[in-house]
Structure 1
Amino acid sequence: MSKKITVEQDIQHPETRLYRVVASRIEALIREEQIGQGSRLPPERELAARLSVSRASLREALIALELGGLVEVRGGSGVYVSAALAVPAAVEAGPGPFEVLAARRLIESEICAIAARVATDSAKDAILKAVLDMEQNHDNYDSNELADREFHMSIARATGNSALAGSVAHLWDQRGNLWHRLKEHFQTEQLRKETLNDHRRILEAIVARDPAGARSAMRGHLERVTRTFSRG
């Protein structure tokens, strides 16, 4: 029977990132069970159960280990050990992608509601331009990413509150290598189309001066992204 490994007791400091603890536990599991280079790890569902963590935290940990060169995530196949575990892998500091998404759901949803109440015509034009830029750069990853960021920043600037705009900029700047690798693995063409549709709905609610609708549209958008990346 597989041994169940818990991680909660390893979190002794409030700033310790759960996914970093999980990454260390996966390394320990590979050593203890002598899973050799080129061998496949147990399926995500099984690993999450054995470690008593969510699929989201597990996925962040696996991506961190992949960035450290210790595992390889193969879409549709599984996760494979790609290097000998001589030393613990270096794991990216800072909040994980799902922490950032959770913060964005709270903050950007309310910002969106404020923007729906106070946005000027020129502010709405800026949001529309970002949507059009995303459409025009659908197949260009870098340009599409910049337009996506500008969409969310334009909404924040539409509130007229520079502190809120700064908060959104900070959250977007927290999207490090873990985020981009996660997106690389699990973003699909369907998700990209749905993101664009979400952005149109958000814009429509802001233009209609519908704070409740704008809040709901933004929250729904970020919840869907979270579900896709944690379960995809």
Structure 2
Amino acid sequence: MKSGLVSRWAIAWSLIAVVAFGIGIIARMSHGDVSSHPEELDRMEYQVAPFSQKQFELYAEGVGDLGTKQALKDADIVVRVKKEGVSTYRYKAFTAPVRVVEVLRGDAQLQDLMIDVYEPVSLNEWDGVKTLFTADAYQFGSTPMRENEEYVLFLNRAPSNRVVGDAWTIAVSPYAKMPADGDPVCIVHAGVEANMILRDLSEADLIAESDADAEAYLAGSKDVLESFAIE
């Protein structure tokens, strides 16, 4: 009798696990489909905290290795890249295919190679409405990379495993991803948090909280690029 009860519980838990696994696969597939439909992405809201110089200074000081200045200093590589191809959504982030145009610091063997870079943007859905959320570096107002544009990236190698593969992540700093031409396009949007249609940000590199914050970001990005002799 006891063994029969145990068997029924085992079967019940197995069914629950199968159903949960199936739901997970379906959710991943439905989210992954957005990679093939850029027009759907364009209509989604992009939720981000606009860049604030005051908030950046608080983060920049940080605690130990949590500050953004330290994040730039500790990045595994600094590279100039060109995004070539459409980003794909996998494992709760968008993976951008980029070609390494120039290695500014780090492994010179990456020169001219294609690498995958995880952009810290995730896709969430509530009541049938899909919204793009930012994390890490992009919490400072950054927008996703655009195709055929060149950027300077501060990157760390992602933990290697069968799921992630060989990929890179962007360091946690508003200056970890900047347009390589040294001329970021800033949009001003006052408020702690901005919900903007991604299509309306197609030409923007950064969302700032005020004109003064935008000017502070531009001055900072210029300093960072000049430190690598990039014009």
- TM-score, shorter chain, exceeding 0.5: no
TM-score by length of 2: 0.24
When you count strand as a share of all residues, which structure comes out higher?
2
Choose between structure 1 and 2: higher helix proportion.
1
Q: TM-score normalized by structure 1?
A: 0.23
